[in-house]
Amino acid sequence: MNIELGHFALVLAFALAVVQTCVPIIGGRMRSELLMRVGEPAAITGFALIALSFATLVLAYVQSDFSVLNVWENSHAAKPLLFKITGTWGNHEGSMLLWVLILSFFGALVAVFGRNLPLSLRANVLGVQGAIGCAFLLFILVTSNPFTRLSPAPMQGKDLNPILQDIGLAVHPPLLYLGYVGFSIAFSFAIAALIEGRIDAAWARWVRPWTLAAWMFLTGGIAMGSYWAYYELGWGGFWFWDPVENASLLPWLGGTALLHSALVMEKRSALKIWTVLLAILTFSLSLLGTFLVRSGVLTSVHAFATDPARGVFILAILVLFIGGSLALFAWRAASLSAGGLFQPISREGALVLNNLLLTTATATVLIGTLYPLLIEAVIGDKISVGPPFFNLTFGPLMLPLLVIVPFGPLLAWKRADLWAAAQRLFAAFGAALLVALLSYALVDQASVLAALGIGLGVWLVLGALTDLVFKSGLGKVPAAVAWRRLAGLPRSVFGTALAHSGLGLTMIGIVSVTALQAERIVAMQPGDTVEIRGHVLRFDSLRPFTGPNYTEDQALFVLTRTTGAERGTIVSSKRLYPARQMPTTEAGIKTLGLSQLYVSLGDKTPSGSLVVRIWWKPLVTLIWLGALVMMAGGAVSLLDRRLRVGAPMPRKAMAAAARGGNA
Amino acid sequence: MTRKQKRLAIIGGAVGFLAVATGLTLYALRQQTSYFYMPGDLEERPVAAGQRIRLGGLVEKGSILRGDDTHVRFAVTDGATSVMVTYSGILPDLFREEQGVVTEGSFNADHVFVADSVLAKHDENYMPKEVANSLKEKGVWQEN
């Protein structure tokens, strides 16, 4: 019964989304306040209905109701409760439902917190949100219904793919979707601006917090996905340039560019048309990502099931929204007033350069991701574009960007003195150079390139801190005054410094692991030892273990330093999930400071020894810690007073908006 | 600089930059893509030793030979032709006889394929797509 309730609620939500699309936008054209106000209750009720629908599905999973096809295919009564719940979105249908749930959640947030928006803008934004909701609700109802019944109901489910039975599934998809779908708000604002033919600095001020929040979640989602793949797949890699990973990186790059261009628009009323275009492109990349992952054109862990009808449907949504919005842009962009002027050497100039580099890098990733699909569709050849391609294109394009990042915040708006900024960065540059030299001299394996890469990371971190030092006058004025100034700085300044230094930390981690990691593959018998980077790993014993829904062979390793000091034990195992007869490798990971020792088990050799693969991953945790620092930067920036207290508008614009709304 | 000159400078810079990016992309696409082959394709389109390709097919029954160290030999087959592959390292969890597999690497002088990565399927429903499609074309695919 419950499941039918959920299905019914979803159908209602679809009908409501149609209303939410048509009525407020038509109301905006007719200047009818009554019709425009329909958007808010529709958005809030729509969210409630989808939440109800989602809750019934979660309940079916918790109760292991195998009369529901989706539950039978992806769950098992013996599965721990957490994985029963997270399994709800560990499959195609459920994850699409989570997608629209989050979409409607953002729509409801706009309805609740957007009370200070001009009425017509709010109506149009909610209308566009409703349209996206319509398309995806229809997609779920027609091609991916999670509420299909199965009769007669089987006694036991087919279980969830063991790779997905992990805490990662509880965190990664929701965070990723909060990011992907969060960009829909910027998109809806852009479309609303194009419909109205009016855009101003206040628009950027409304869009920025939404974009910032989405960007923050996406950063977290990507980082979590990367760490999950790192520890779960047992290959010890953190990024594979897999098309599905690229699908999440693309909107992140676009969103990063959008954040920076919206800044220029908000502060200086420049780059208006470009910002609108970026908002459209960023969400288009999110949609493209959804298409790539959900349509089954790619093969990966994420391609749960492949059904051609779904691919065609999502492709149609993609064409409709991307094509439609770009057509609208082409038609209306000219009506938006052009922005202000600035010198090439200025904060604006630096942000333009940032945008240029980021969008070009995005384009290369996009090409590398779509090229194999294109070639297969057109010529029929099957090719793959792997890491070497991206290292050769994305790398050289990102490098200059990373070099100039510290300059940006030190440059003044309108017209800046590059030499003055460079002088301020001398200390950071010197320190970075010193670190590079030291790492080249002291670390055996370090190449010139690796040393420079680490120096670049240090440059980013110290460069970001330099901005804080000079803005507070630290060292020039008494400490108490500097402290007071520091406390009085806008939170967004701290946000910027945190985000940029987080980028530096991630950079250090990536370079360090890529260039300096050590790897051993050895066949071991109990009692054997292997030495790796100043550590000795002794294979102690192999013992069986039974978990709630799996059995495993646990290999126990004892880790000591070469000097003899104990560093603890590591357990690495081979698991078997009997429900699917599927083995998995559970890597044993020991975190030592910022570095990790990673032990992964292979097969037994004919003579009974065990193949063991051991990595020393220096500073690897910085990759994800850096992402956390970036997220923290986003959060601090989001708390900025400027964004929190509604968006103050110039009086004239306010009056105009009020007139527009009431006429 | 006048407004016009400034704009020209920015556009010129952007175009120059895009040209560099395009050049890099085209160069990388020529150098860094690897083609997918089934064992049978190798007779029609021979591959020079040392050229990186991806080789896919089924792991031939009874062909897996584990050395006492980390070396493994196995044959990849498409039902008609098979190719000997060597690999040193840990095989994926779902690497089994008569299962789909995609290996990446190149041929050595003795016509043995030296793989540096081996991918198998992620769960029992999933087969690398290129392999599944090619097997279907050759008619040896069985729906279960």
The CATH number of the domain where B119 resides is what? 2.40.50.140
The token pair at A9 is 């609620």
Q: Do B34 and A600 touch (CB under 8 A)?
A: no
- Within a domain: residue B143? no
> For B32, which of A352, A388, A600 is closest by C-beta distance?
A388
Residue count of chain B, please give it.
144
How would you classify residue A568: left for phi > 0, otherwise alpha for psi between -120 and 50, otherwise beta?
left
Return the residue of B nearest to A521 by Cα. B89
B62 and B121 together in one domain: yes
What pLDDT shows up at residue A384? Answer: 81
B122 and B59 together in one domain: yes
Tell me the C-alpha distance between A136 and A314, whole Å: 8
pLDDT exceeds cutoff 90 at B30: no
Tell me the C-alpha distance between B128 and B100, whole Å: 7
* Rounded (5°) CA angle A335-A339-A344: 140
Do residues A545 and A574 make contact, with C-beta atoms less than 8 angstroms apart? no
B104 and B50 together in one domain: yes
- Within a domain: residue B96? yes
Chain B residues with CB inside 8 Å of A305's CB?
Answer: 125
- DSSP class of residue A612 equals E
B78 and B29 together in one domain: no
Domain encompassing residue B89: 35-138
- Within a domain: residue B102? yes
Whether chain A has a CB inside 8 Å of the CB on B126: the answer is yes
Nearest-CA distance from B109 to chain A in Å? 24
Nearest residue to A366 via CA among A262, A273, A259, A252: A252
Give me the mean pLDDT over the B39-55 stretch: 85
Do residues B117 and B105 make contact, with C-beta atoms less than 8 angstroms apart? yes
Best residue of B11, B34, B123 to probe chain A, by most A CBs closer than 10 Å: B123
B85 and B103 together in one domain: yes
End-to-end CA distance of chain A: 49
Tell me the C-alpha distance between A209 and A207, whole Å: 6
Chain B residues with CB inside 8 Å of A368's CB?
Answer: 25, 28-29
- DSSP class of residue A649 equals -
B29 and B76 together in one domain: no
What pLDDT shows up at residue A141? Answer: 95
- Within a domain: residue B70? yes
Nearest residue to A286 via CA among A414, A163, A389, A184: A184
Nearest residue to A301 via CA among A79, A90, A158, A144: A90
Name the band, by pLDDT with cuts 50, 70 and 90, for residue B143.
very low
The phi and psi torsions of A338 (rounded to 5 degrees) equal: -70, 160
Tell me the C-alpha distance between A49 and A7, whole Å: 10
The percent of residues in chain B predicted with pLDDT above 70, rounded, is 81
Tell me the C-alpha distance between A80 and A100, whole Å: 26
Note the pLDDT tens digit of each residue in B78-104.
888 889 999 988 788 778 888 788 888
Chain A residues with CB inside 8 Å of B103's CB?
Answer: none
- Within a domain: residue B144? no
What pLDDT shows up at residue B132? Answer: 66
Most confident of A405-414, B6-15, B34-43, B117-126: A405-414
What pLDDT shows up at residue A647? Answer: 46
B102 and B50 together in one domain: yes
B28 and B41 together in one domain: no
Nearest residue to A531 via CA among A539, A635, B29: A539
Residue numbers of B between 62 and 121 with CB closer than 8 Å to A: 66-70, 88-91, 93-94, 104
Tell me the C-alpha distance between A309 and A311, whole Å: 6
What pLDDT shows up at residue A43? Answer: 96
What pLDDT shows up at residue A652? Answer: 47
B28 and B70 together in one domain: no
Whether chain B has a CB inside 8 Å of the CB on A372: the answer is yes
Chain A residues with CB inside 8 Å of B25's CB?
Answer: 364, 367-368, 393
What pLDDT shows up at residue B43? Answer: 82
How crowded is residue B49: how many other Cβ atoms within 10 Å of its Cβ? Answer: 12
- Within a domain: residue B56? yes
Chain B residues with CB inside 8 Å of A603's CB?
Answer: 66, 90-91
Best residue of B70, B102, B135 to probe chain A, by most A CBs closer than 10 Å: B70
- Within a domain: residue B101? yes
Interface contacts A/B by beta carbons within 8 Å: 124
Whether chain B has a CB inside 8 Å of the CB on A608: the answer is no
* Rounded (5°) CA angle A494-A496-A499: 105
Residue numbers of A between 305 and 334 with CB closer than 8 Å to B: 305
What pLDDT shows up at residue A457? Answer: 96
- Higher-confidence residue: A145 or B120? A145
- DSSP class of residue A650 equals -
Structurally, chain B folds into a number of domains equal to 2
Sign of torsion, CA A345 A347 A350 A356? negative
pLDDT exceeds cutoff 80 at B70: no
Whether chain A has a CB inside 8 Å of the CB on B2: the answer is no
Q: Do A383 and B35 touch (CB under 8 A)?
A: yes
How crowded is residue A222: how many other Cβ atoms within 10 Å of its Cβ? Answer: 22
Nearest-CA distance from B34 to chain A in Å? 5
Query: What is the reported pTM?
Result: 0.91
The per-residue DSSP string of A92-125 comes to HHHHHHHHHHHHHHHHHHHHHH-TTS-HHHHHHH
B62 and B85 together in one domain: yes
Whether chain B has a CB inside 8 Å of the CB on A301: the answer is yes
What pLDDT shows up at residue B129? Answer: 62
B77 and B131 together in one domain: yes
Please state, in angstroms and as integers, the Cα–Cα distance from residue B73 to each residue in A183, A613, B115, following that order: 49, 18, 10
Whether chain B has a CB inside 8 Å of the CB on A163: the answer is yes
Q: Do B24 and A582 touch (CB under 8 A)?
A: no
Do residues B103 and B96 make contact, with C-beta atoms less than 8 angstroms apart? no
Report chain A (663 residues): mean pLDDT per 10 consecutive residues. 90 97 92 92 97 96 94 92 94 93 96 89 95 96 92 88 88 94 95 88 87 96 94 84 89 96 88 92 93 70 58 88 94 77 83 93 93 82 84 91 94 87 92 94 86 95 93 83 87 94 96 92 91 92 92 94 90 89 88 94 84 92 97 92 52 46 35
Q: Do B21 and A367 touch (CB under 8 A)?
A: no
B22 and B56 together in one domain: no
